[in-house]
């Protein structure tokens, strides 16, 4: 468990260093990085591969979406959730929208995973999440919660990710 606290501390430290890079913000916030902790839902998974895993990801906006009463964007993302026993690497297309200080997203794609038995698996991945802006910072820092799931692995890789996200 101490290993996960070390990884979380490293993720927080990265968010302290990266704002210097983000100071030259272009204003379009097309790229974001995130890091945090993933909590598997299934007890079989937690028993075999720890109760909390490291997670990190990157997301890029490729299309702005403006419709009457709705402003959003299409993004593509790649994440990693795992430890030395199991992992999942979902690559997804997401619909993201902002409202005041909150951002919500839904996404679907393909996941590349290793399950409880050590077998390589692929399947459809899906996610639903919400982020909230953290204070009045000079860089767009958000804290988020995301439900992640994957088919073809008997719900072994479903769970909740809690992360810090930096947009630049």
The pLDDT tens digits of the residues spanning 5-40 come to 455 454 444 544 444 444 444 456 799 999 999 999
- CA 101 and chain centroid, separation: 18
DSSP helix/strand/coil, 138: coil
| Helix or strand run (H / E) with residue 44 | helix 43-49
More confident call, 128 vs 168: 128
With cut-offs at 50, 70 and 90, classify the pLDDT of residue 152: confident
Please tell me the distance from the alpha carbon of residue 136 to that of residue 126, in angstroms, as a whole number: 31
Size of the chain, expressed as the number of residues it contains? 168
Whether this model's pTM surpasses 0.85: no
- Give domain 2-167's CATH number out of 3.40.1010.10, 3.30.530.80, 2.40.160.20, 3.40.50.150: 2.40.160.20
Average pLDDT over residues 71-85: 93
With cut-offs at 50, 70 and 90, classify the pLDDT of residue 4: very low
DSSP tag of 51: S
Looking at every residue in the chain, the average pLDDT score rounds to 84
Contact 135, 117 (CB under 8 A): no
Contact 51, 65 (CB under 8 A): no
With cut-offs at 50, 70 and 90, classify the pLDDT of residue 79: very high
CA separation (Å) from 119 to 32, 53, 85, 127, 157?
A: 31, 18, 11, 23, 13
| Helix or strand run (H / E) with residue 92 | strand 87-99
Residue in the block written with tokens 């050590």? 118
Residue in the block written with tokens 């008997």? 154
Average pLDDT over residues 119-128: 94
């Amino acid at each position: 468990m101490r290993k996960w606290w070390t990884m979380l501390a490293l993720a927080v430290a990265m968010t302290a260093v990266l704002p210097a890079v983000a100071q030259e913000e272009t204003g379009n916030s097309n790229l974001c990085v995130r890091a945090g902790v993933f909590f598997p839902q299934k007890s079989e998974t937690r028993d075999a591969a720890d109760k909390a895993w490291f997670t990190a990801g990157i997301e890029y906006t490729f299309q702005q979406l403006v419709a009457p009463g709705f402003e959003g964007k299409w993004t593509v993302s790649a994440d990693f959730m795992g430890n030395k026993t199991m992992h999942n690497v979902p690559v997804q297309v997401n619909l993201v929208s902002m409202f005041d200080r909150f951002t919500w997203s839904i996404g679907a794609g393909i996941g590349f995973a290793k399950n409880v038995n050590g077998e390589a698996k692929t399947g459809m991945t899906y996610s639903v999440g919400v982020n909230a802006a953290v204070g009045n910072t000079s860089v767009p820092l958000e804290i988020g919660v995301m439900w992640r799931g994957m088919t073809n692995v008997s719900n072994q890789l479903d769970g909740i990710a809690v992360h810090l996200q930096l947009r630049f």
